[in-house]
Amino acid sequence: MKDTIDAPANARKFQDPKVTVDGQERATVALSHPETLWFNTGTLCNIECLNCYIESSPSNDRLVYITTAEVTDYLDQIEERDWPIREIAFTGGEPYMNPEMNDMTRAALERGYEVLILTNAMRPMMRKTVRAGLLDLAAEYRDKLTLRISVDHWSERLHDEERGEGAFARTIEGMEWLRDNNIRMTVAGRTVWGETEAQSREGYRAFYATHGFEIDAANPGETVLFPEMDETADVPEITTACWDILGKSPSSVMCSSSRMVVKRKGAAKPAVLACTLLPYDPEFELGTTLAEAERDVALNHPHCAKFCVLGGASCSA
């Protein structure tokens, strides 16, 4: 049993990885088709956003900087395990706070993988040495490299409400530099303001047109709209019967195709997690190697239900 989730609506749910609160068999997901291996580069960030699921900030170092050597070790393990990985993805914190970010990117690109980097495109990315490294990478691997920019809302007012005054303008500056240097961008937005999906996508379409960004607002792979991850929301537990009821397959859930590597503060080695959204929950830590991470994952958290199964979201490209 794990600690009770601090939410009255879920107080008795999500306690036993094998059965739900009403005694039904809990759904599990096998790693059936590993496509993306995520690396958390560290939880330090240049800003502190409202409702950040990983609590990134200028002072949060619960997940410390991962190194190029550690990333390379897992790239070797991919080959040893014969995982059919298509994409290596980096998230944070702000990845460009990590001084080895460009080196880690190169290590993945040199192996032939597509690389996705989640960034706010602000000052860490815009440092002169980082930009020089990005230009070198783009010159060699332009078609394999994508930066997904966090634009919480298409309007300056609501984006800055989440990320702080002036954040929107600084992100636009970074995006314009990427545009001018022909580095591929996509966008991650949020759905916290009560707009319909159609309204959100129309807002992003107009935003892209204003700035000359070649990003498709209608394509969920290019403009990803994430539902809010509220552990206090009352959500159903997912049982084995739910797959047929919902008309879904376990292979459609994110943990069937991805794992994430993190380095905890004070840990001797990185750890492999089942999910990018649960970096601190010990139940979802699978071990230190990819071999250990091949086991099934019990959907024993509200995020599993709301975000992945019912929301149908995916962090990958």
Give the model confidence (pLDDT) of 104-127 as tens digits.
Answer: 999 999 999 999 999 999 999 999
Domains of the chain, residue spans: 28-309
Please write the tens of the pLDDT for every residue from 152-193. 999 999 999 999 999 999 999 999 999 999 999 999 999 888
pTM: 0.93
Burial of residue 3 (number of CB atoms within 10 Å: 0-12, 13-18, 19+): exposed
For 247-293, give the secondary structure using H, E and C. Answer: CCCHHHCHHHCEEEEECECCCCCCEEECCCCCCCCHHHEEECCCCHH
In angstroms, the CA 128 to CA 284 distance is: 38
CB–CB of 4/232 below 8 Å? no
Q: Which amino acid is at 88?
A: I
Instruction: List Cα–Cα distances, 228 to 49, 154, 189, 277, 306, in angstroms.
Output: 13, 16, 10, 11, 9
The helix/strand/coil state of 298 is strand
Query: Hey, what CATH class is 28-309 in?
Result: alpha beta
Measured torsion, CA atoms of residues 155, 168, 315, 307, in degrees rounded to the nearest 10: -50
Please write the tens of the pLDDT for every residue from 272-308. 999 999 999 999 999 999 999 999 999 999 989 888 8
Instruction: List Cα–Cα distances, 310 to 127, 242, 249, 313, 315, in angstroms.
Output: 40, 10, 12, 8, 15
pLDDT at 6 over 60: no
